[in-house]
Amino acid sequence: MCGRFTLRVPAIDWGQLFFANMNRGDELSVGSPRFNIAPTQNVKCIHHDPHSDGLTAANYRWGLVPAWAKDIRIGTKMINARSETLDSKPSFRQAFASRRCLVPMDGYYEWAQNSGSKSKQPFLIEPSDGRVKFMAGLWEENQQLEDHEVIRSCTIITTPANATTVQVHQRMPAFVEESNRSDWLDPRCRDLAELKMLLRPAKEDLLKLTAVSRHVNSPRSEGEQCVLPLDDATSGGQQVLRFD
C-alpha cells in the first residue's frame, strides 16, 4: 500500500536526471514542497510522450481512471496496482503494456497498530540517502466522463514489503532503479514478464522509518509538521511502536 507520500525536493533537482530526454519546451514547475500528498490530488508523472520520442513530466490525478470508466470516483479504488497481477487485471493490463510512468517521491507514510490501543501510529518511510526515488506507475487518459475535460490519471505499483518496511505494512511501492528506468518508460518494451522482474522489493538499507506526529493523519494537513519525528517515540504520553 502507498496511500500518502512526500515530494519536498525541488523539481529542478530531481528533474535534471531526465532533462536530456525531455521534449523541447517541457518545463518542470518549481512549485511548493509537498509534505502530505493524498489520493485524488495531482502528482508529478514522468512518461513517454506518445506524440514524440521524448519524455514528458506533468501533473496527473492520483487514482487511475481507465479509458473506459464513466465515473471518476473509480479512481479512489485504484490508487495502487499490485505488481503480481498487472498483466491479468483488466483495469491495468493495457496501461502496463504501453503506458508506464515514474512518480518521484522522497518519503511515504504507513500506519502501524499501537500495542494495546485502537489507535495507529504514522511512520514516515524515506530514503536513507536523502535522495529522491522513483516509484513505478501506470497512466491513463479518459475522455468518457460527462462535464469533464480529458482526465489524465495514474496509479502507483506496489510489491511485497522488504524486511525493513514489513514492520509497518505488508506492501511497499515498487522503486525502479536508475539502470532500468529507460526500459520501464519505453513503450516499445513489450516483454511483460521481463518488465515484471523490474518490480521487486527495495533493498533493506534503502529506506529508514521514523515515527511522526498524527498531524499527518488528515489529508488536509500540510507543512513540515507532517514529517517531524516524535521525541523519544512518544505521542501524547502514549508509547508507540519502535523499530531499532
Instruction: Please state, in angstroms and rounded to a whole number, the distance separating the CA atoms of residues 101 and 33.
Output: 21
What 3-state class would DSSP assign to 226? helix
Is 101 part of the annotated catalytic residue set? no
Helix (H, G, I), strand (E, B) or coil at 193: helix
Pairing of strands 55-62, 151-160: parallel
Q: At 84, list the grid cell.
A: 503480481
Contact 3, 109 (CB under 8 A): yes
**Catalytic: 149?**
no
Catalytic residue among 45, 110, 126, 140: 110
Q: Are strands 238-239 and 234-235 parallel, antiparallel or unpaired?
A: antiparallel
Task: Please work out, in degrees rounded to the nearest 5, the angle formed at the alpha carbon of residue 126 by the alpha carbons of 123 and 130.
Answer: 145
Question: What CA–CA distance (Å, rounded) separates 5 from 33?
Answer: 12
160-180: buried (b, 16+ CB within 10 Å) or exposed (e) per residue? ebbebbeebbebbbbbbeeee
Q: Which residues are catalytic?
A: 2, 110
